[in-house]
Amino acid sequence: MTAGLFDTHAHLHFPDFADDLPDVLARARGAGVTRMVTIGTDVETSRAAIAIAEREPDVWATVGVHPHDAANADDAVLDEIERLAASPRVVGIGEIGLDYFRNLSPREDQARVFSRLLAVARRIGKPAVIHSRDAHEDTLALLDSERVRDVGGIMHCFSGDREIARRCLDLGLLISLAGPVTYPNARALPDVARFVPGDRLVVETDCPFLPPQPYRGKRNEPAYVTITAARVADLRGEPFESLTARMSENATTLFRI
Ligand SMILES: [Zn+2]
Ligand SMILES: [Zn+2]
């Protein structure tokens, strides 16, 4: 029996899972996934994430406003996120960050919401779950000025290179690898998987998005985090069991589970 895998970033409360969530959770448990965190992206999905976490003993929640939704996040929204963040089933603030790939919200709004919710993370003492796409410089600068070191956090679905990884590690963050590390065109990710120290590495699905290689084009789900973890173990030349145990410990320590 292993210590179990930890899917540090799932969206179990998204409509994609509305029809068969019990089956999805059963497959995850059957595959050895013993802990999952379901990630809010706005007020509504943050509430839904907490509702699942209150029902399922092996699921925890985060609350946050995704950069895509930043334009609509006025003070009332951000106050509500802070209120929800106090729930005992909430283990982090996120996802929050900057996304200059799709730019669905103006950059000023993204930065405003990101800073404000990093301050919430500091106030309540819970770690940040950070989304950064094509925005590494600005993301790292904000994380530094908002003192993410005080609470820690995860750079989720890491998409940078070794140099960006090093700068995230310097800020005290964990690096989370997702399905793309299994892709043939994974670019810098295999190098990153080998570079990050074992006590700073975690894995995730980001389901329903970004399934690992064998399931590309289909819906992703937490059971598939085993494929990503196996690929990372392979790249590092480490036994699967010891690596997954260590990654689970990293996540449980950060989230204080
Ligand atoms: Zn994300
Ligand atoms: Zn996500």
Which ligand has the nearest atom to the CA of 67?
A: 1
Which ligand has the nearest atom to the CA of 158?
A: 1
Q: Write down the pLDDT at residue 210.
A: 97
Model's pTM, two decimal places?
0.97
DSSP assignment string, 98-164:
EETTT--S-HHHHHHHHHHHHHHHHHHT--EEEEEES-HHHHHHHHHHTTGGGT-EEETT--S-HHH
Q: Write down the pLDDT at residue 172.
A: 98
Mean pLDDT of the 55-60 span: 98
Q: Indicate whether 36 pLDDT > 70.
A: yes
Q: How confident is the model at residue 51 (pLDDT cuts 50, 70, 90)?
A: very high
Q: Write down the pLDDT at residue 1.
A: 41
Q: What is the pLDDT of residues 109-135, one digit of tens each?
A: 999 999 999 999 999 999 999 999 999
Q: How confident is the model at residue 188 (pLDDT cuts 50, 70, 90)?
A: very high
Mean pLDDT of the 202-227 span: 98
If you count DSSP H runs as helices and E runs as strands, how many of each does the chain have, helices first? 9, 8
Mean pLDDT of the 20-49 span: 98
Mean pLDDT of the 161-170 span: 98
Using the mean position of ligand 2's atoms as its centre, give its distance from the Cα of residue 206 in Å. 5
pLDDT-above-70 percentage for the chain: 99
Mean pLDDT of the 187-200 span: 97
Supply angle C-alpha 176, 10, 243, rounded to 5: 40
Which ligand has the nearest atom to the CA of 207?
A: 2
Q: What's the mean pLDDT when you consider all of the chain?
A: 97
Q: Indicate whether 202 pLDDT > 60.
A: yes
Q: How confident is the model at residue 237 (pLDDT cuts 50, 70, 90)?
A: very high
Using the mean position of ligand 2's atoms as its centre, give its distance from the Cα of residue 238 in Å. 27
Which ligand has the nearest atom to the CA of 98?
A: 1
Q: Write down the pLDDT at residue 44.
A: 98
Q: Write down the pLDDT at residue 230.
A: 98
Which ligand has the nearest atom to the CA of 7?
A: 2
Using the mean position of ligand 2's atoms as its centre, give its distance from the Cα of residue 23 in Å. 21
Q: What is the pLDDT of residues 238-254, one digit of tens each?
A: 999 999 999 999 999 99
Using the mean position of ligand 1's atoms as its centre, give its distance from the Cα of residue 78 in Å. 19
For residue 90, give every residue at least 6 positions away whose Cβ sits within 8 Å of its Cβ, in sequence order, or none: 50, 53, 60, 61, 62, 63, 84, 126
